[in-house]
Structure 1
Amino acid sequence: MFALALAPAPAAAEPTATSDTPLALTPPMGWNNWAHYMCDIDEAKVVANADALVSSGLAAKGYDTVTVDDCWMTRSRDADGALVVDREKFPHGMEWLGDRLHAKGLKFGIYQDAGHLTCEKYPGSGAPLGGGPDHYAQDARQFASWRVDFVKMDGCNLYVPEGVTKERAYRDAYRAVADALRASGRDMVLSASAPAYFQQGEWGGPDWHRVLGWVGETGQLWREGRDIQVYKPAAPATSRWGSVMGNYGYNRWLGRYAGPGNWNDPDFLIAGAPGLTAAESRSQVALWAMMAAPFILSSQVSELTPEGLAALGNTELIALDQDRLGRQGAVASSNATFEILTRQLAGGDRAVAVLNRSGSARDIHVPLAEVGLPGCTVDAKELWTGERRRVSDALTGRLAAHDTAVWRLDPRGCAGAVPTGQIVGRGSQCTDGADPAGPGAVVMAACTGAPDQRWTRGADGSLRLSGACLTAGGDGLVGLADCDARAARATGQTWTHRRDGALVSVLSGLCLTAAAPAAGPDTPADRLRLESCGDHRVDQAWALPV
């Protein structure tokens, strides 16, 4: 590990709002109070953590947006309908706080809610129960007058009119929020929490996928699932590792929605805070970087462990997270012990991470072919240690319990990476080509990381396993057959992966559909099949290798 340089932060530029100004072209970075302080927040704590970002060197490395979460206002608006700052907590007010942050080279973020009340029952921006005028435009103008740069818009207590679906009500509300911010006269990045209010387990339901489909039209980043576990002062040693793994779990399949100006947000970084070991802290930073997730701390910055501070300040991991290509990484291989992720980077480099889920140290051995680089020699840089070496066969090492190794690979001697790994569907299960259902059958099975689940994506739209191609049969079943490059479209071997996750046969226009889960351990698994494409059907959503 290394000491962080105490470099001064650069002066923050004052943005000018325009309808076509691109915002958040890389994942936002900064600090938010919620996961450490919750409602126990005030001006002194915000300023102290802002000062610690600067003095630790984290601000200079990109952690530059300081956001005040819920509970900063009084319980009622004033006579003109404006939000009222709680002057006992924030005696100088929010405009002063914004100026104080800007003077330190930082940006100013604030919390509000798209419903009529915030999650902690303070005044929200939305319409009251029963209907009526909202405060989206008024609050946006007030935030602009305070020179706010970042708005976290939660989704509690949102009024759903009679005859309108919940999903439609959220869509209308967040579009109104986005319009109000654009009309405010100031550029403000919007963190939209809409998807989090529709999550149904790791794979989600139809409404969750519908919301993920449109939320990027409103915000630059979005919370799509449950909150990270908050710090408990009465039980500071309580492990938070399960929460980190849970949030990683739902976020890892959603790469198709991410890109410059649009980011999946699995919630705050708590690396270096109570509840995570040094290895677990490294893992959270590594996994969030592989997923191009926002790097937003929620901790007491001055009390971060040296190991956590080193992980958060690792410039190689920050550069990985902030890679300008903006392509979220994907799971190449997973089982109960290991998870291997790959990510394509700008300039042709490829990142590879290996997570040790187990509770003991393990040796790792990752052949280059299994991460999309068959026949290649690579210059490999291990991003925690900085060690460089030339590799022509496999990435190797020993990994502590709950730790994650990360390499940046510069390929040599090959044309480029071949997207390689799992095809994952409903229930986070894998498509499997070695099953008793018969030769050429493809079924859903628990992910094992075995060769019978290691697919490659061809530039011609093919999906290949052990030299055979995924083929749409005339009987509605899907299986493996010899590849026919000259007639791939005519033989049902060409596939299109849509942004909603659907995998569509170019030949028939039908969608690949996951078999229903087996009724019991002795029940034969059903084969994959083609069916008419539905509206965000969870059994027709797929995560593919990258």
Structure 2
Amino acid sequence: MPPRLRASLPCLTAVALFALSLAPAPAAAEPTASSDTPLALTPPMGWNNWAHYMCDIDEAKVVANADALVRTGLAAKGYDTVTVDDCWMLKSRDAGGGLVTDTARFPHGMAWLGRYLHAKGLKFGIYEDAGSLTCEKYPGSGSPAGGGADHYDQDARLFASWKVDYVKMDGCNLWVPPGKTKEQAYRDAYGSVARALRASGRDMVLSASAPAYFQQGEWGGSDWHKVLGWVGETGQLWREGKDIKVYQPAAPGASRWSSVMGNYGYNRWLGRYAGPGNWNDPDFLIAGAPGLTAAESRSQVGLWAMMAAPFILSSDVSRLTPAGVAALGNADLIALDQDPMGRQGAVVSSNATFEVLVRPLANGDRAVAVLNRSGNARDISVPLADIGLDSCTVNAKDLWSGARTDVSASLTGKLAAHDTAVWRLTPRGCAEAVPTGQINGAGARCADGANTTGVGAVVMAACTAGADQRWTVGRGDASLRLAGECLSAGEDGAVELADCAPGEPGQSWTHRRDGALVEAVSGLCLTAPAAAATPDAPAKRLRLTACGDHRVDQAWSLPV
């Protein structure tokens, strides 16, 4: 069952941290191509075949799902881009080097499919690869292994002639020339893709898969962070990691929950890269499809909305459960996902059972979500003071039930196993919200002021949602505070908690886009210690060291 709001809760307002009716849709107007036209100012929405059909795709299936989007009302609610993934073409190009549609699968061709979708008020998406071959070994757009001419411009012009609106550009089989690193080769390739699309004569949104080919675990490695730093210069959205688990017809009931949690896991720390025209993409929505319960489906929709993630379904739309369609079509959750501020929510509190996320919104509201990771129903309680809203009242709207309640103490309710509560909070006479919550570093651990290694010590520890991990961002002074003290540059490179002294050196911090926390006077970066060799080893202190090039131990996620 959806969570029930049963207590009262206080006030809140949006804040910026350190420098970030089911009628059929009308026919879409043909866009005017311009390289200066802003694209995807809110997260793209639509459908893609891959996580349900993989290569078992053809014209009839695409048309059936497009029709189902319109029939269910999902298209009218924004799910308007229909994308054909890998395996739509023949294994060889034609004599002129052009891609050839497999007419056994798509008898009317791709230009016809584009016209069909546009007549339905939908947009047309197509798949290609920046390498020499797609992941399923069909012709890619990139140079062949060993070097040679690429097809980026030729393929972009072809897609433009088909009136394509959206290009998913994968990254399999990409040749790395001698003398270049893999990261440099991908940057060059995706830069060429972006230039080709801009020169094609038609505006096409680019979904770039480059970061996914560098992911190393949830927190990632140095090259992954480098790619995340530049991929927004090429595309409007990007896949950062593993694919969502695909539907298995031989085992339709197999759970896909762990895959949803895995993709949420790597995406939740990357809010610094998101904003209008640039979106972190943790892969497809499979809510309402086989492998997720109703609660798990709500969780995926709620968490993706909190993360300003693209809402791209990959399922048999005609067979979605009624509960899944209700979750996917929830107007309040869609509005949350599409909020024009484009600020991705952040994890502000977590332990083995619960995670609390907060997201500032354009009109001054603030969204709050609580994920129940456990396999049992749980009572939840989130004090407003713990999410930066102290001594005030807010009107809290439960986005699943639609119920509104004035709250001046805590958000409370009962949450089913694997469910996620989502509220939209509207302040009433509140002061500006103070970003409050965890500071997460390498390995998704938490900066902790538990004083386990000396007075004022700050260490890295497992996240507990405890008060010793509840930091605030000082208003106007770039300080980071815990329990009334400030994170400060100490002796011998260590950092410590000390009395706050506005204007004094060592307590002013800048959070850069690459995730680094830089101390203003020294120019040094906050650095996480290496993980302890054994679970019972003493915790090591955080230190200031020279800032490196996208060092994983110098990347931090802050509350918003």
TM-score range, shorter chain: over 0.9
Provide the residue aligned with 2:40 in structure 1.
24
Answer yes or no: is 1:202 the counterpart of 2:218: yes
Pick one of 500, 524, 542 that aligns with 2:514: 500
Distance 1:440 1:413 in 2: 36
Distance 2:309 2:436 in 1: 22
Cα distance, 1:284 vs. partner? 0.1
Provide the residue aligned with 1:469 in structure 2.
486
Note if contact 1:375-1:413 (Cα within 8 Å) is conserved in structure 2: no
Cα distance, 1:458 vs. partner? 1.5
Q: Which amino acid aligns with 2:149?
A: P
Pick one of 49, 74, 80 that aligns with 1:58: 74
Cα distance, 1:6 vs. partner? 3.5
Cα distance, 1:402 vs. partner? 0.2
Provide the residue aligned with 2:153 in structure 1.
137
Cα distance, 1:473 vs. partner? 1.4
Answer yes or no: is 1:539 the counterpart of 2:553: yes
Q: Secondary structure at the residue paired with 2:160? A: helix
Provide the residue aligned with 1:242 in structure 2.
258
Distance 1:415 1:475 in 2: 39
Distance 2:290 2:537 in 1: 45
Gaps of 5+ in 1: none
Q: Secondary structure at the residue paired with 2:68? A: helix
Provide the residue aligned with 1:483 in structure 2.
500
Distance 1:500 1:474 in 2: 26
Provide the residue aligned with 2:16 in structure 1.
none
> Counterparts in 2 of 1:53-452, with a 5 A limit?
53-452=69-468
Cα distance, 1:418 vs. partner? 0.8
Cα distance, 1:14 vs. partner? 1.1
Runs of 4+ in 1 over 6 A off after TM superposition: none
Note if contact 1:505-1:512 (Cα within 8 Å) is conserved in structure 2: yes
Note if contact 1:444-1:527 (Cα within 8 Å) is conserved in structure 2: yes
Q: Secondary structure at the residue paired with 1:348? A: coil
Distance 2:501 2:29 in 1: 56
Distance 1:198 1:296 in 2: 23
Cα distance, 1:520 vs. partner? 1.2
Cα distance, 1:475 vs. partner? 2.0
Distance 1:521 1:498 in 2: 32
Distance 1:26 1:162 in 2: 39
Gaps of 5+ in 2: 3-20
Cα distance, 1:410 vs. partner? 0.6
Cα distance, 1:16 vs. partner? 1.3
Provide the residue aligned with 1:517 in structure 2.
531
Note if contact 1:348-1:416 (Cα within 8 Å) is conserved in structure 2: no
Distance 2:535 2:278 in 1: 41
Q: Secondary structure at the residue paired with 1:282? A: helix
Q: Which amino acid aligns with 1:505?
A: E
Distance 1:247 1:521 in 2: 26
**TM-score (norm: length of structure 2):** 0.96
- Bigger relative CO (Cα 8 Å, ≥ 6 apart): 2
Q: Secondary structure at the residue paired with 1:35? A: helix
Distance 2:397 2:36 in 1: 38
Distance 1:136 1:466 in 2: 55
Identity of aligned residues (%): 80
Cα distance, 1:435 vs. partner? 3.3
**TM-score (norm: length of structure 1):** 0.98
Distance 2:302 2:170 in 1: 27
Pick one of 521, 526, 529 that aligns with 2:543: 529
Distance 2:217 2:33 in 1: 38
Note if contact 1:258-1:264 (Cα within 8 Å) is conserved in structure 2: yes
How many residues end up aligned between the 2 structures?
541
Q: Secondary structure at the residue paired with 2:276? A: coil
Write out per-residue CA displacement over residues 53-97 of structure 1, whole angstroms, 9 at most, x where no aligned residue. 000000000000000000000000000000000000000000000
Note if contact 1:116-1:157 (Cα within 8 Å) is conserved in structure 2: yes
**Alignment RMSD, CA only?**
1.0
